[in-house]
Amino acid sequence: MKKFFILLLLVFLQPYYSQDKAEKALQTFNEKYPQEKIHLLFDKSSYIAGENLWFKSFVFEGYNRSNISTSLFVELYDRNKTLISKNLFPLLKGEGSGSVFLPENLKEDIYYIRAYTTWMSNFSEDFQLVRPITVYNPSSPDKLVKDTISSWTASVHPESGTFINGIKTKFAVRLHSPKGATPSDWNGYVIDTTKPDIHLADFKGFDQNVGSFSITPENGKKYQLIVSDKKGYKQSIDLPEAVAVGINLQVTSNTDVVKYTLKANNLSENSQYYKILGTINNQLVYKAKINKISDDISYSIPTDKLINGILQLTVFDDNENVVANRICFIQADLLNIKQPSLQSLSLNTSPRGKNSFEIAINPNYANYSVVVMDATTNNPEEENSLLSTLWLTGDIPSKIYMPAQYFTKKRNAEALDALMISEKWTRFNWSNLISGRLPTIRYTPESYISYKGKVLIQGKPASNADLNLIFTTPHHGTNFYSVKTDVNGFFTFGNLVFEDSIKFSYQLNDKKIPKETVQVFFQPNFEFVPYKNSLPVNEFILAKRLPDEKLPTEISRLATIKSNQKIINEKITDIEEVVIKGTKKAKTQKLNEKLSSSLFKSINEQIFDFVNDNQNAQSSFGILQWLQGQVAGLEIRSQGGDYIPYMRGGTVDIYLDEMKIDARQATSISMQDIAMVKIIKGSFAGSFGGGNGAIAIYTRRGGITGSISNSSANSSLKQITLNGYNKEAPFNNPLYDDINFKDIPQDMRNVLYWNPYLETQPNAPSAVQFFNNDDSKSYKVIIIAFDDNETPLYYNEALK
């Protein structure tokens, strides 16, 4: 892949000097509206409630890693589009990594990971990443089962979108299913509706997505396609009615050239010429003008200067109306992919055996993303790989079954071309571009995390004031920043990269102004954008789990992995667990007695203690957002920019120090000021008859000390807490050469090694070392990297 691949092939069949509206509009769109797409490499393909989901993120601008965005938004939804969690992670040259916690109380179901950037929010949500994930929960009353009775349909697509009398036309047949259960073994034939017993064309489907056939229509005849699968399900589809006038664009993509032919019927004499534009990634790479269309002339576009990707060829008349359009893939049989050289391979498939290999020295790569898994487990790259995202699904948002298959060693280029016939390029619309209807930019990407603030002195704006900001980090010590306010007291503080939260001390650089009179308010310059589209339908349904039903092997294995992972991560004794929990419980009980009155006590209450246990609350943007997923039956819904709590289908009352407030007031409460939150389900004395329960928030007051308040108690300056990126959970594997790991009862791990950033050394190979589980006999290894020319290195092979 080349960093810059613009190649303007001006194929003039006569002198042609002007640049028309289409070209100018395309240039504007390409320069001002670059397009991003996302691929997430997950650590595995299915999870169990209470686990972490790890991912490596790749954000591309076209076919190169993007430098546009420095932050990635990752959200978790249930099938009802209820937002469960939202997370923010940093990007460096389009790459990042992170983890999303799957709460213990998640019911067994299909959930959805949504990933997007601020810049992507300006364009169609169709191009954001929305990926279903399977989450099991043995204690859930319902279980996931595949929908085996889902029906499928077919559609037909003539090449270049035109079907003209007397012109032999290639058709793509596309299968569709709302839940993905399309047949793998299917075929079809075409008939003249007046002679249903005569097959004009027969074909067999290439895969579960597409098949193709060709037919020459005759004037006045109607044609029908009959498609059937091996189970006997049959469907009839009418072909579009052939027209008497038009142009058919026929394209063949070979290794060295893309050849195209224009075939026409009964064209008007008024059109002086036709123009053909070829675009890749919204950039013009080919342009030709043809005065007279002839069936005998074939035109060639050399591919040696182009890159792998989708080429869109569009035919315009002399009034710049689109008359034919076709997309194809460049060099489907010659993918520009680098392979790593593995050496010093040492495999030990005995239980808990030590394994290792090295990636040979290559100065073109700064780091590798490496995953090693039990080869019998489901491969997270099997359905949609980095290559299929980069070259196909990142730009073609329609549902494609197993898109990764088109970029494997066993790929079928003919099937991919038929898929291209059935699709259109929707990153832009020629009519909109030419008429000047361009996207509206509402969201501008910031450089990493940015906050805007306002300084007040005795309630009035501090104009043109110097504000000192002081904060301390473990790795960089104490840092000082000075910002200057504008005439209205506003300032911007940006380019911040930190995890969780940081406490900032602040003071004006004017000792004459008492610090008690100064107030500083911060607001993030970034925002999570609500998702408007419907979530994709999945191929699973929920069925009741029977009492004492035996768990499937996969779920049982995941439960064992989760149990053992807890041992690996905690490394503490059961006695220490009991002591810590008992101490915390006693302190929390004492805090509850101190803060809440008898009116706000209930046998059906759940308490969150922020004095004796910070609950990771300081990384949240507000108490209502933090409560998402924390309490069974409590839902926090986003409505009109506010977060509204619901329980049992009704809204939940919110109290601050036992005084009723609204949701907006609750959002403005600083997490640092909260001592305790109590969730009360059902009626209680202080509710005056309300039956939906309450969220009772209690603030810190004199005499209350604890883990959070003590951290700032000794500061002589005013402080404020700013939230940063979500912290990635550590991915821990047992090291069986350490005696502390010998007591793990049963090792069923399906992911044996996970490293999203395996750094390279200039004069040494990159070493990978991992320990086997108890039963694996072969390993699947995934390695991903990019060089300075943006050529992907991609390895997805089994080691035996």
pLDDT-derived band at 571, boundaries 50, 70, 90: very low
Question: What's the order of all strands across the beta sheet hosting 83-90?
Answer: 46-48, 129-136, 109-116, 71-77, 83-90
Q: Tokens for 646?
A: 């619901």
For residue 686, the model assigns a pLDDT of 77
On average, the pLDDT of the chain sits at 88
**How confident is the model over 596-618, as pLDDT tens digits?**
887 888 878 899 988 887 666 66
What percent of the chain lies above the pLDDT cut of 70? 91
Closest CA to 308 of 346, 366, 255, 367: 255
Q: Tokens for 418?
A: 């038929």
Closest CA to 324 of 259, 249, 430, 432: 249
Closest CA to 95 of 763, 797, 790: 790
> What phi and psi, each to the nearest 5 degrees, are found at residue 492?
-125, 135
Instruction: Give me the amino acid identity at 447.
Output: S
For the segment 420-426, the average pLDDT, to the nearest whole number, is 96
Q: Is 51 helix (H, G, I), strand (E, B) or coil?
A: coil
**How confident is the model over 725-737, as pLDDT tens digits?**
999 999 988 888 8
**How confident is the model over 747-777, as pLDDT tens digits?**
999 999 999 999 898 889 999 999 999 999 9
**Placement of tokens 């012109």 in the chain:** 167
**How confident is the model over 343-377, as pLDDT tens digits?**
999 999 999 999 999 999 999 999 999 999 999 99
Instruction: Give me the amino acid identity at 28.
Output: T
Residue 192 pairs in a beta bridge with 195, 223
Q: Tokens for 520?
A: 């500083």
Instruction: For the chain, give the number of residues.
Output: 800
Q: Which fold has domain 163-238?
A: Immunoglobulin-like (2.60.40)
For residue 710, the model assigns a pLDDT of 35
Closest CA to 40 of 756, 789, 536: 756
> What phi and psi, each to the nearest 5 degrees, are found at residue 413?
-65, -35
For residue 504, the model assigns a pLDDT of 82
Other CB atoms within 10 Å distance of the CB of residue 745: 9
For the segment 441-468, the average pLDDT, to the nearest whole number, is 90
Q: Is the pLDDT of residue 213 over 70?
A: yes
**How confident is the model over 93-141, as pLDDT tens digits?**
999 999 999 999 999 999 999 999 999 999 999 999 999 999 999 999 9
Instruction: Give me the amino acid identity at 714.
Output: N
Which has more confidence, 711 or 651?
651
For residue 617, the model assigns a pLDDT of 66
Which has more confidence, 434 or 498?
434
DSSP run (H or E) holding 450: strand 449-457
For residue 8, the model assigns a pLDDT of 46
For residue 794, the model assigns a pLDDT of 97
Measured distance CA(330)–CA(315) in Å, rounded: 19
> pTM for this structure?
0.80
**How confident is the model over 650-708, as pLDDT tens digits?**
889 999 988 888 888 888 888 878 889 999 888 887 776 566 789 999 988 766 665 43
For residue 580, the model assigns a pLDDT of 47
Q: Within 13 A of 754's CA, how many CA atoms are on the CB side?
A: 23
For residue 14, the model assigns a pLDDT of 41
What's the gap between Cα 758 and its chain centre?
A: 22
Decide whether 41-56+63-146 matches 163-238 in CATH topology: yes
For the segment 419-427, the average pLDDT, to the nearest whole number, is 96
For residue 381, the model assigns a pLDDT of 95
Closest CA to 790 of 96, 64, 280: 64
Q: Is the pLDDT of residue 782 over 80?
A: yes
Measured distance CA(22)–CA(13) in Å, rounded: 19
Q: Tokens for 196?
A: 């249903």
| Cα–Cα distances in angstroms (integers) from residue 467 to residues 48, 460, 560, 623, 720, in the given order | 48, 15, 54, 28, 14
**How confident is the model over 56-70, as pLDDT tens digits?**
999 999 999 999 999
Domains in the chain: boundaries:
41-56+63-146, 163-238, 449-524, 596-723
For the segment 474-498, the average pLDDT, to the nearest whole number, is 81
| Cβ atoms of 73 and 87 closer than 8 Å | yes
| Cβ atoms of 61 and 44 closer than 8 Å | no
Q: DSSP secondary structure string, 470-518? A: EEEETTTEEEEEEEE--TTSEEEEEEE--BSEEEEEEEES-TTS-GGGE
For residue 583, the model assigns a pLDDT of 62
Q: Tokens for 291?
A: 């005065």
Measured distance CA(737)–CA(724) in Å, rounded: 37
For residue 6, the model assigns a pLDDT of 42
Measured distance CA(784)–CA(685) in Å, rounded: 60
- DSSP code of residue 333: T
Q: Tokens for 274?
A: 């036709």
- DSSP code of residue 640: T
For residue 396, the model assigns a pLDDT of 96
Q: So what's the architecture of 41-56+63-146 in CATH? A: Sandwich (2.60)
For the segment 632-640, the average pLDDT, to the nearest whole number, is 82
pLDDT-derived band at 473, boundaries 50, 70, 90: low
Q: Is the pLDDT of residue 714 over 50?
A: no
Which has more confidence, 565 or 486?
486
DSSP run (H or E) holding 752: strand 751-759
- DSSP code of residue 711: H
Measured distance CA(338)–CA(348) in Å, rounded: 28
pLDDT-derived band at 330, boundaries 50, 70, 90: very high
Measured distance CA(75)–CA(638) in Å, rounded: 13
| Cβ atoms of 696 and 680 closer than 8 Å | yes
Q: Is the pLDDT of residue 144 over 60?
A: yes
Measured distance CA(115)–CA(74) in Å, rounded: 5
pLDDT-derived band at 709, boundaries 50, 70, 90: very low
For the segment 387-403, the average pLDDT, to the nearest whole number, is 96
Q: Which CATH class is domain 596-723?
A: mainly beta
Instruction: Give me the amino acid identity at 736.
Output: Y
Q: Return the top range by mean pLDDT from 405-414, 537-546, 563-572, 612-621.
A: 405-414
For residue 12, the model assigns a pLDDT of 42
Residue 501 pairs in a beta bridge with 723
Tell me how many degrees the CA angle 383-388-394 measures, rounded to the nearest 5. Answer: 110
Q: Tokens for 60?
A: 């591309």
Which has more confidence, 459 or 613?
459
Across 71-75, 255-259, 265-269, 419-423, least confident range: 265-269
